[in-house]
Amino acid sequence: MAGNGQSGTLGGRAPRVLRRGPEHVHGGPSPDHPGNLDDPLRPVAPMAIDYLGASLRPWHHHRRGQLLYADSGVMQVGTAAGTWVVAPEQAVWVPPGIEHQVGHRAGVAMRTLYVDADVARELPGECCVVAVPPLLRQLILRAMAIGLDYQPAGPAARVMAVILDELRALKPEPLHLPHPRDPRLVKIAEALLADPADGRALADWAKAAGASARTLARLFVKETGMTFGAWRERLRLTSAVTRLAEGAPVTSVAYDLGYQSPSAFIAMFRRSLGDTPGRYLKRAGEGG
């Protein structure tokens, strides 16, 4: 249910909305929504939304590309191709026209930059999670203060140009969980999404799926680009980042996700993201 707050207009500071609870109606962006802005002289259109609780918006798309930045809180962005986890001080890039939905289990401060479709061609053609370095974080916050009503040749436009330079330099992080399409794999994926700690071998899943383990193994690689074991580890990693960023202790997360010990979980985390959970979140929280 939408709470207090109204979406802004195209003038002044970035439109800022305060919302509570789940969103039942979204639809496509209205003509004056920043995500639909048809103005190449304003290649970056900012919008700030603060959500006070859990929310899941229905599927929708924008004509512009979208950088979804979590100034605080954790978001999940889903498309037909997969799910991306956006931890603190990270962002997810969604190219123009991609159907997606955004959700979170607690409050989140969302700071979005909508990038003109022509400019977005210079950015990744697929969704990806990126770390937001300190300079870009400050630029995003500055863009929120500038809003949409800036002059093409003025100082604010130069800020937006630097933002685009920073976006072009970003590198994706491995927080993407690809979605399989085969109905047999979908059943397995849905079961593991509900219980990431389930440690059954693929041969055990094969009995319930009505296919051989060899067939399922081949399909997992074909449809997700990952082996079954790697896919389950990625699922646990994305689940871990979400829970850790929400304040859950490392030990609890490790056991809840099916690891025999916290050290085994930390080893997986370091192997995947290059750091321990504590240092990774501290680095992310500092925008480094």
What pLDDT score does 103 carry? Answer: 87
Residue 7 has pLDDT above 60, yes or no: no
Pairwise CA distance, residues 117 & 43, whole Å: 8
Among the ranges 49-53, 55-59, 73-77, 214-218, which has the highest mean pLDDT value? 214-218
First to last CA, the chain: 36
Bigger pLDDT: 17 vs 119: 119
Q: In 93-199, which ranges are continuous DSSP H helix? A: 117-120, 134-146, 155-168, 183-194
Residue 28 has pLDDT above 60, yes or no: no
Residue 19 has pLDDT above 50, yes or no: no
Read off the pLDDT of residues 165-191 as tens digits, 9 standing for 90 and up. Answer: 999 998 887 778 888 989 999 999 999
Torsion over CA: 55, 163, 137, 82 (sign): positive
CATH homologous superfamily, domain 16-173: Regulatory protein AraC (2.60.120.280)
Please check whether residue 250 is in contact with residue 262, taking contact to mean a CB–CB distance below 8 angstroms: yes
Q: pLDDT averaged over the chain? A: 83
Residue 217 has pLDDT above 70, yes or no: yes
Count CB atoms within 10 A of the CB of residue 59.
13
Among candidate residues 57, 52, 4, the one with its CA nearest the CA of residue 26: 57
Locus of tokens 């990774």:
280
148, amino acid identity: L
The pTM for the full model equals 0.73
Please check whether residue 215 is in contact with residue 241, taking contact to mean a CB–CB distance below 8 angstroms: no
Read off the pLDDT of residues 106-149 as tens digits, 9 standing for 90 and up. Answer: 888 889 999 999 999 999 888 988 888 889 999 999 999 999 88
Determine which of 86-90, 181-185, 236-240 has the lowest per-residue pLDDT on average. Answer: 86-90
Q: Where are the domains of the chain?
A: 16-173, 179-285
What pLDDT score does 4 carry? Answer: 29
> What is the token pair recorded at 50?
């603060």
Pairwise CA distance, residues 112 & 28, whole Å: 16
Topology classification of domain 179-285: Arc Repressor Mutant, subunit A (1.10.10)
Locus of tokens 């979170």:
104
